[in-house]
Amino acid sequence: MGRQKKRRTPIDSDDGGNEEESNPGRNFTGIWKHVEIGEEISRGIYSGKCLYCGKEFNRAKPNKTRSHIANECQKCPEDIRRYYNYIIAHNLVDDPNVEDYSIPPKATTTITTANQKKISGYFESTRIEDSRKKEIDDVTITAFVSCGLPFRVVENPFFINLIKSLCPGYDLPSRDVLSGRLLDSQVSRVNLKVDQIIQSTANLTIGFDGWTNPNGSSLWNFVLLTPDRKQFIYRILDLSNNSHTGEFLAQELKKIIEDIGPKKIAAIVSDNGSNVKLARQLISDQYPTITNLRCIAHAINLISKDIIKHPFASHLIKRSNQITRFFKKSYMANSLLKNKMEEYGVVGGGLKTYVETR
């Protein structure tokens, strides 16, 4: 009788080799039901591929694949995406035997964002509880993202000394952990909160637009606007490999509308480019209850540009720019202008040069 082939057993750990050695028989989590396991890279560590979008992972670690399913995969079913947002946001282990991916109704009402938490107490020992550490972790990643701080700052010795002076028992996460697991967790919390708002709100408006980033990639964002004027980025897509025809953009919009639910969408809005105008019309024809709107701000901008083309306005703008450049180039004149502005209580930030978008 031939030897039985040994079953491949990925290790459910995102730590280094120590975790693999100390926990050779860890239970599998549910994420492996959504990943095709490939070749073994090292003991218990395999490459993998997302079963929905085909994205390949050189090292298919659980946290990374969970984050992909929750925050990145565009082809994953909505119930599974929301489920993994909930799992990551609450630092839970996903049950490998789960069949129903719906989030417990009572659980969704207890979620709070990191900026709602309060750090209490000013004097602490050099040892803190795990719950306290997690609380500071959440506040730390929120501060880094909200303030636009480079993640490398977390390993700066002066920054470490600052944190140690405030809380001696807290050890800052590494740059990799901060930009990896903690950032993924924060993104999932935000996405989960946005999902809750969407599910409880009707008469949503979809706004969409595209631009080219410094790397030359064509990015398109789809924003949801609520009746009380709140805005949420629902999806950002890299569509560099596609021709941005009206038909193609309409198909991308249709996917989003079906994910949210057509009955929740009241209108769709964009500028008046020929392709996006056609995409709006195609959506409005397919969904009669969705109103086709043109962006009024874009229309006003175009009207303003036409007015500026008049000889009188063009001459006035040219002379105004000359005055502005004079004060910007002369430090003495600029200083005198600032003093006079303070003396007469003039506000607004000083002189500004005219550009097409301002």
- pLDDT tens, residue by residue, 30-70: 888 999 989 888 888 889 999 999 999 988 888 889 999 99
DSSP assignments along 199-215, one per residue = HT--SEEEEEEEEE-TT
- Checking if the pLDDT of 97 tops 90, the result is no
CA distance 65 to 48: 9
The confidence band for 244, taking pLDDT boundaries of 50, 70 and 90, is: very high
| The pair of three-digit structure tokens given for residue 262, joined into one six-digit string | 């057509």
On the 0-12 / 13-18 / 19+ scale of CB atoms within 10 A, 172 is buried
Which of 139-148, 169-178, 299-308 has the weakest average pLDDT? 299-308
DSSP 169: T
**pLDDT at site 126:** 72
Task: Give long-range contacts, CB 8 A cutoff, 24+ apart: 149-152.
Answer: 151/175, 151/178, 151/179
Q: What integer is the mean pLDDT of 199-208?
A: 93
- Checking if the pLDDT of 25 tops 80, the result is no
- Checking if the pLDDT of 205 tops 50, the result is yes
Which of 100-114, 172-186, 228-242, 328-342 has the weakest average pLDDT? 100-114
- Checking if the pLDDT of 17 tops 50, the result is no
3-state secondary structure of 307: helix
Nearest Cα to Cα of residue 71 among 216, 181, 223: 181
Which strands form 265-270's sheet, in the order they lie side by side?
231-238, 218-225, 204-212, 265-270, 291-294
Enumerate the β-bridge partners of residue 48.
Answer: 37, 57
- Checking if the pLDDT of 117 tops 60, the result is no
pLDDT in tens, 120-133: 544 556 788 888 99
Answer with the residue of higher pLDDT: 144 or 304: 144
**pLDDT at site 208:** 95
Contact 59, 37 (CB under 8 A): no
Answer with the residue of higher pLDDT: 304 or 107: 304
CB-CB neighbours of 230 under 10 Å = 11
The confidence band for 116, taking pLDDT boundaries of 50, 70 and 90, is: very low
Q: What integer is the mean pLDDT of 318-326?
A: 90
The confidence band for 104, taking pLDDT boundaries of 50, 70 and 90, is: low
The runs of H, that is alpha helices, within 261-354 are: 274-286, 296-308, 311-329, 331-344
Average pLDDT, whole number, for the chain? 84
| The pair of three-digit structure tokens given for residue 302, joined into one six-digit string | 């175009």
Enumerate the β-bridge partners of residue 36.
Answer: 49
The CA-atom distances, in angstroms, between 316 and each of 118, 125, 319, 329 are: 54, 67, 5, 20
Amino acid identity of residue 58, one-letter, is N
**Residue 143, H or E segment:** helix 130-147
Domains and CATH numbers, the chain: 17-106 (no CATH), 114-198 (no CATH), 201-297 (3.30.420.10), 309-344 (no CATH)
3-state secondary structure of 121: coil
Question: Is the dihedral angle over the CA atoms 145, 148, 154, 155 positive or is it negative?
Answer: positive
Nearest Cα to Cα of residue 108 among 86, 124, 78: 86
pTM exceeding 0.75:
no
3-state secondary structure of 253: helix
- Checking if the pLDDT of 100 tops 60, the result is yes
